[in-house]
Chains A and B, each alone.
Chain A
């Protein structure tokens, strides 16, 4: 039998360790075990409460200014602090493991800080995984629709207005049904929705809202396709709208591997009658370097039915073309800085140009000469400094 060399130092060290150390160790172990038990009890106690109710909030404050008064995103040559400033509170009450009630209240600077409910719904997940929700919901047309106001969860200072401003409402009253297909490394989600809404600050009612979307994600790549339709009734841009239909189509994709971010969306809106049809899209790319994420965005929007208006009798063709035709390309350079826990600071410089013979989608851009279709501004530069926080 070989003599075990490794056993020798053990024997020596055991011999050297004073008996007191073992006593210490026994006490330490006892204390540690008691601590564990206390922590387990505390955890159980707080769990029953936190599992029932969650309260969260988010806040954004923005400074926006422009080199002129074209009115891009409400910006003017004087400083604006209300356009993109907002605060939201959300309460989630878990009625059971499968049923919950969610209420999100928002106050936005652009709406004079009036309190409005963006989410107010009851949801239930059936045993087979199907989830239904009813109440006031976000209309899920865009990739960022569900968390449109939660700047902290977005890479940019604001979702590109070229795309996101083409649908003038963000929530509806109704219901949706969704199902997640779980694959080994990815999830496919199908969602169908329906309900009614109104366009805020207008005389336009939306009824028979119906739509569906499909999205797939492996948490690095995300792909999404959406269809939506609604009936419009009321008045818009001085036109009487009598039950005309609007159809929305959208495609989106994103990539985020931790350092490189890329997001792109492409959407179309087609409305019966004289109201303008739009096509729009954007691409954002960013790169994370520790707490800094510089990004660049290119976005465009254009009306696709200008001929419908130009073929009208001249007394209609001219004002409608001037008012509704739209063309714009915007280039943004920005930086997200995750300055401290739960707070991101964003800097953004957006240059919008290429308006053609339109106001560039800026209703506040005055006509200089209606016959040559000349407007006062043919470009604009917008500066934004913004903080986004969650709590």
Chain B
């Protein structure tokens, strides 16, 4: 099925790639987000009415997102959150397992934000930042 689709895509003369770059998504009702607000939100600072979702650890999109937005490697992020947790300053965001689960979580809450690969974006969510 996938093969068929890619043949289809190629025949359209459109270049689809496996990864189109990571984007921050919000509920369809959400407004655009700045890079610095996104950095704060995903490090547990700033507007605490936001409900932030992350992809599971080890997910490639997660690593890509953090290297672009928060500037932290997987190990650095882990060290950062262990510092926050063990000083009672905050807990890491809830995680979801896939782009589909991310979209479902973000679509169901007007205050939710998350990130997915741009190729996974559909009508259920809105791109609020292309870092």
Contact = CB atoms under 8 A, between A and B. Distances in A.
A50 B45 contact: no
A1 interface: no
A100 interface: yes
20 contacts: A6-B12, A13-B12, A17-B8, A21-B1, A28-B1, A36-B101, A39-B104, A40-B107, A43-B96, A43-B101, A44-B108, A46-B94, A50-B94, A133-B88, A180-B45, A182-B45, A184-B36, A256-B76, A342-B78, A344-B79
Interface string A35-49: 111011001101100
Contacts, number: 117
A56 B83 CA distance: 12
Nearest to A182: B46
Contact of A150 (B71, B83, B97): B83
Interchain residue pairs A-B with the least CB separation, the first 7: A153-B83, A40-B104, A146-B87, A36-B104, A39-B101, A338-B75, A102-B88
B82 interface: yes
A348 B12 CA distance: 59
B128 interface: no
Given A152-B82, A187-B45, A291 B104 contact: no
A139 B78 CA distance: 24
A169 interface: no
A343 B93 CA distance: 21
Contact of B85 (A17, A90, A342): A90
A114 interface: no
A123 interface: yes
If over half of A's interface residues share one DSSP class (helix, strand or loop), that class is named, otherwise mixed; here it is mixed
B62 to A, nearest CB: 13
A185 B34 CA distance: 10
B7 A13 contact: yes
Contacts of B96: 39, 43
Contact of B86 (A12, A37, A150): A150
Interface residues of A, number: 57
B130 interface: no
B111 to A, nearest CB: 12
Given A39-B100, A92-B91, A56 B86 contact: yes
Contacts of A123: 88
A147 B80 CA distance: 11
Contact of A100 (B1, B39, B88, B97): B88
A258 B73 contact: yes
A112 interface: no
A130 interface: no
B126 interface: no
Contacts of A153: 79-80, 82-83, 86
